Amino acid sequence: MRDEPYRWIEAIQDRRDYIEDQLRVGSPVVGLTYNEGMVLLTIGRGQRKIFEVHDRIALSAIGHPADIERLRMLVTDTASVQGFQNATEDVNLHRLTNFVLAHTFKQAFESIVGEAYIIKMLLAELGGTSEQNRFTGINYDGNVRTDAAFSVIGGTEAIETRMQNYLAAASEDADRTLAAALQLGLEAWAIGKELSSREAEDMESEDTEIDTEQMHEIINLAKEDGEIEAGVLETTQSGTSKFRLLETQEIETALP
């Protein structure tokens, strides 16, 4: 019996390694703020990846399609019930993240006799002011990360770090247009996509830096097999729902 805790720790590490191996090749997701709201974007192959959760909340994810759909329905249904039973104002990202999603992720990951979710999720909430906008990333093990101006999810932590560093190095423009946000987001996506095909030790090498021309080549190549998908939460949207998916023509204006 003495070795039971060690067996559990070993099983958890094996599970972590397996999930990260499965997530590694997933198409990254980038979230950015711009002068009229927030945008989530990725490049996929036919299956939709960006959804509305509630009036001012949207999500995207990478991972197993069945897990994504199951958890998307969980959080969407929870938001709808909370809004109906209480008030629309009671539906917020903090509650949905900390009392529904993070707990569900963590419980599944640590219950080694059951199936873990192969997923990483990124949610965006449009606040009453730009200072209240929030991105929340949830890891497969239930760990939560909250950011204000931008956020990403990618196959590994190292990939996410490189993408975040690129976005952080870009000048903070309070008047950034949607087109500028889309272009910057696609460039960060290209970094994540390229790194997902490399070995872990190659990511730290200075010889493997990706310049802007290479980013655009990666984007154009990805468009041949897939499609750019972007959804926005806009302050200018009339009505209670601030979410909409962008049309192809709107996205094309951001491309060089």
Residue 150: what pLDDT? 95
The edge-to-edge listing of strands for the beta sheet with 50-54 is 50-54, 57-63, 119-125, 134-138, 144-147
Does the structure show a pLDDT above 80 at 101? yes
Residue 1: what pLDDT? 38
Average pLDDT, the chain: 89
Q: What is the Cα gyration radius of the chain? A: 18
What's the average model confidence in pLDDT over 216-231? 92
pLDDT-derived band of residue 170, with 50, 70 and 90 as boundaries?
confident
Does the structure show a pLDDT above 50 at 216? yes
For the chain, the 3-state helix, strand and coil shares in percent, each to the nearest 5, are 45, 20, 30
What's the average model confidence in pLDDT over 127-156? 94
What's the average model confidence in pLDDT over 112-128? 92
Instruction: Show the domains of the chain with their CATH numbers.
Output: 27-252 (3.60.20.10)
